[in-house]
């Protein structure tokens, strides 16, 4: 077996020709679902429930064509939205747009929304996942990395200790944070090297902007890891090395720069609406 | 049907509970291949050859578990490498590393390797795919966008007309190229809007570094499109808007900046070897 991709259900084997004995690359590919036949698939006999918790259940088809079926019932609007195709938009956030749209939105986030971060910083939760603690930041395993036997799943998070004033990359300033960012990069790469035997040359270190939660943090993931959707994409990821170089060039760089954002029509509808009002983008051709 | 992903073989349907009539989100997921059972899969009866050309053939399983099997026989070393998992490395290319490793490599590329680009620029090939021509650049449909009925597949390429001296983003200079880049962005976004009814707010414009071919060009793709591997990822894609802002700030920006690269152990083995010699990275923990 040369390769086996469980996400795409493709396997590649190295075989040998039955008569000539020549090497052969053999690519096995499961078929996707035909739109018209989806209802029929659900009439499979021998479906077995293997998990059930509240609205969520999981079933396994025992017919020759193995199938897992997940059911959310009763489904709420947000469940339906979550599984519908997302519409994305690109917004070039100038400093003026940041002040008009993003900052008021971030300032209005209730503190309770990042209480879970404070619980980690205060030593109340997830302490078994913490790898490093300094006066300025704390590094722990992201909950997405479940299977530690797979180094390509590497995902650590570094949370800064400074609270409230350091919500995102926009709040970074050379004079205040440059030294911390350099220390963070060096010490976490060393820790990854020691603990997981992954060389620094295979680790990608980056911020997200917009971040998923508004308390400044840096991601450390494997360069060959599964990319969780747009997690490594431009318009979302900003390399820690670029941040360090930009702050070195100009300590106020992130107060002056324009930054490209990927915004979801569902998750960021308010920001998109405001941007349309400011003539910063048009949703239509 | 809410969603049907042919790549991941996952379909999501909106159903209704048989008794209560409540909405239900139903997620159907085909199973991948079990490593141990891959040889057995090949013993399926009823495999039919549907395509054959030289070393390449494609077969379809007609058993209840539909399967496509591709065979390359006799397989050569490069075929086996192509389908083996790739090892990737992250290299921070400083201007000194560019001069020592990248530039000599690019200078040594035989002209014949980009003859196909000159054929397009000279009006000899693919002219039916050209959408725009100016004195400075030419815009055409990338061959990857086959199905024009799917706007999310949008992929245009803009090739600059300047030859030999403008091989990559490293050769861009504010004084010489800033005006062209701004004109390129505005006119191609307008053309995409008119021709395909896709708003500028859903188009991502970027260079690649390293590019696949060393003649300066810009990609225009749909923000929600299938991401062709790492095509949108940091360490590969560099946004046209960032390039314009950086050249505005400093006309010599790309002669001075450090740029992060994703290098493949297979495709870029020479560059990686040189970087190790220069102590610019270590392949091992």
Domains of chain B: 3-82 (no CATH), 85-277 (3.30.428.10)
Q: What is the pLDDT of residue B108?
A: 96
User: Rounded to whole angstroms, how far apart are CA atoms B73 and A130?
Assistant: 50
Closest residue in chain B to residue A244, using alpha carbons only: B258
More reliable by pLDDT, A202 or B60: A202
C-alpha distances in angstroms, B176 versus B106, B179, B248? 21, 8, 12
Distance (Å) from the alpha carbon of A104 to chain B's nearest alpha carbon: 23
Average pLDDT, rounded, for chain A: 89
Q: Do B201 and A89 touch (CB under 8 A)?
A: yes
Averaged pLDDT, A55-62: 79
Helices (DSSP H) in A24-150: which residue ranges? 38-41, 77-83, 95-97, 103-107, 115-121
The two most distant CA atoms of chain A are separated, in Å, by: 72
Enumerate residues 6+ apart whose C-beta is below 8 A from A60: A47, A48, A50, A66, A67, A68, A69
Q: Do A42 and B20 touch (CB under 8 A)?
A: no
What average pLDDT does the segment A70-84 reach? 78
Instruction: Enumerate the residues of chain B whose CB falls inside 8 A of the CB of residue A12.
Output: 83
Within a 10 A sphere around the Cβ of B37, how many other Cβ atoms?
10
Q: Give yes or no for a contact between A49 and A57, defined as CB atoms under 8 angstroms apart.
A: yes
Q: Would the CB atoms of A74 and B238 count as touching at under 8 Å?
A: no
What the block records as the tokens of A84 is: 């519908």
Interface-testing mutation among A40, A193, A224, with chain B (most B C-beta atoms within 10 A): A224
More confident residue, B205 or A125: B205
Question: Quick one: tokens of B273?
Answer: 């070897």
Residue pair A30/A17 in contact (Cβ under 8 Å)? The answer is no
B6 closest CB neighbour out of A32, A38, A238: A32
Q: What was the pLDDT predicted at B70?
A: 80
Please state, in angstroms and as integers, the Cα–Cα distance from residue A53 to each residue in A49, A67, A75, B264, following that order: 11, 20, 14, 44
Contact list in B for residue A63 (CB cut-off 8 A) is: 64
Say if residues A172 and A245 touch (Cβ distance below 8 Å): no
| Strand spans (E) along chain B | 3-5, 10-16, 23-30, 47-53, 56-61, 67-72, 88-93, 130-133, 137-141, 155-160, 203-208, 217-222, 237-239, 259-264
- Answer positive or negative: Cα dihedral of A260, A224, A181, B255: negative
What contacts B124, CB < 8 A, 6 or more positions away? none
> Is 70 exceeded by the pLDDT of residue A86?
yes
Per-residue pLDDT of chain B (285 residues; tens, 9 = 90+): 777 777 677 788 877 777 888 888 888 888 777 777 777 766 666 678 888 877 888 888 766 667 778 888 878 777 777 777 778 999 999 999 999 999 999 999 998 989 999 999 999 988 999 999 999 999 999 988 888 888 989 999 999 999 999 999 999 999 999 999 999 999 999 999 999 999 999 999 999 999 999 999 999 999 988 765 678 999 999 999 999 999 999 999 999 999 999 999 888 999 999 999 999 999 998
- Chain A and chain B share a number of CB contacts under 8 A equal to 290
Residue A227 has pLDDT above 90, yes or no: no
> Looking at residues A188-197, what average pLDDT do you find?
97
- 3-class DSSP assignment, residue B264: strand
Question: Hey, CA dihedral for A124, A126, A132, A136, is it positive or negative?
Answer: negative
Residue A37 has pLDDT above 80, yes or no: no
**What is the DSSP secondary structure assignment for residue A46, as one 8-state letter?**
-
Q: Does residue B185 contact residue B158 with C-beta atoms inside 8 Å?
A: no
Q: What residues contact residue B18 under an 8 Å CB cut-off, 6+ apart?
A: none
Which residues from chain B sit within 8 angstroms of residue A51, using beta carbons? Answer: none
Longest dimension (CA), chain B: 71
DSSP B13: E
Locate A59 and state its tokens: 């079933």
Distance from CA of A110 to the nearest CA of B (A): 30
User: Which residues neighbour B22 within 8 Å (Cβ) at sequence distance 6 or greater?
Assistant: A73, A74, A75, B16
What is the rounded average pLDDT of the residues A113-142? 94
Q: With CA atoms as reference, report the closest residue to B66 among B130, B1, B145, B9.
A: B9
| Cis upstream peptide for B78 (omega within 30°) | no
Q: Are B215 and B159 in contact (CB under 8 A)?
A: yes
What percent of the residues of chain B are helix, what percent strand, and what percent coil, each to the nearest 5? Answer: 35, 30, 40
pLDDT of residue A202: 96
Catalytic (active site) residue B217: yes
Q: Which of A13, A22, A283 comes nearest B38 by C-beta?
A: A13
Integer CA distances (angstroms), B160 to B166, B207, B285, in order: 8, 12, 41
Residues in chain B: 285
What are residue B28's DSSP bridge partners?
Answer: A69, B11
What is the average pLDDT across A9-20? 79
Q: Supply A37's token pair.
A: 């036949």
pLDDT at A85: 74
The C-alpha atoms of residue B140 and residue B123 are separated, in whole angstroms, by 12
CB-CB contact of B90 with B262 (8 Å): yes
Residues in A closer than 8 angstroms to B70, CB to CB, are 26-27, 29
Average pLDDT over residues A182-202: 97
- The pLDDT value recorded for residue A62 is 64
Residues 6+ apart with CB under 8 A from A120: A126, A127, A130, A138, A140, A159
For Cα atoms B281, B233, A175, give the angle at the middle one, nearest 5 degrees: 65
């Amino acid at each position: 077996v040369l390769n086996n991709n469980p996400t795409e259900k493709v396997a590649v084997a190295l075989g040998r020709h039955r008569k000539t004995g020549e090497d052969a690359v053999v690519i096995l590919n499961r078929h996707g679902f035909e739109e018209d036949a989806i209802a029929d698939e659900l009439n499979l006999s021998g479906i077995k429930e293997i998990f059930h918790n509240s609205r969520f259940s999981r079933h396994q088809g025992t017919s020759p064509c193995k199938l897992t079926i997940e059911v959310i019932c009763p489904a709420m609007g947000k469940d339906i939205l979550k599984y519908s195709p997302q519409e994305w938009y690109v917004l070039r956030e100038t400093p003026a747009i940041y002040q008009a749209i993003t900052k008021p939105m971030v300032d209005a986030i209730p503190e309770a929304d990042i209480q879970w971060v404070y619980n980690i910083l205060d030593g109340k939760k997830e302490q078994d996942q913490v790898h490093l603690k300094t006066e300025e930041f704390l590094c722990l395993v992201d909950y997405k990395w479940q299977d530690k036997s797979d180094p390509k799943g590497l995902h650590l998070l570094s949370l800064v200790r400074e609270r409230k004033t350091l919500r995102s990359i926009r709040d970074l300033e050379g004079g205040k944070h440059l030294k911390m960012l350099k220390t963070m990069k060096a010490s976490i790469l060393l820790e990854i090297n020691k603990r997981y035997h992954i060389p620094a040359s295979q680790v990608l270190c980056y911020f997200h902007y917009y971040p998923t939660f508004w308390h400044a943090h840096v991601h450390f993931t494997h360069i060959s890891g599964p990319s969780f959707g747009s997690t490594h994409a431009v318009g979302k990821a900003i390399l820690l090395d670029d941040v360090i170089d930009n702050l070195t060039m100009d300590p106020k760089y992130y107060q002056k720069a324009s930054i490209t954002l990927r915004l979801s029509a569902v998750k960021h509808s308010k920001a998109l609406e405001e941007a349309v009002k400011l003539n910063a983008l048009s949703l239509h051709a």
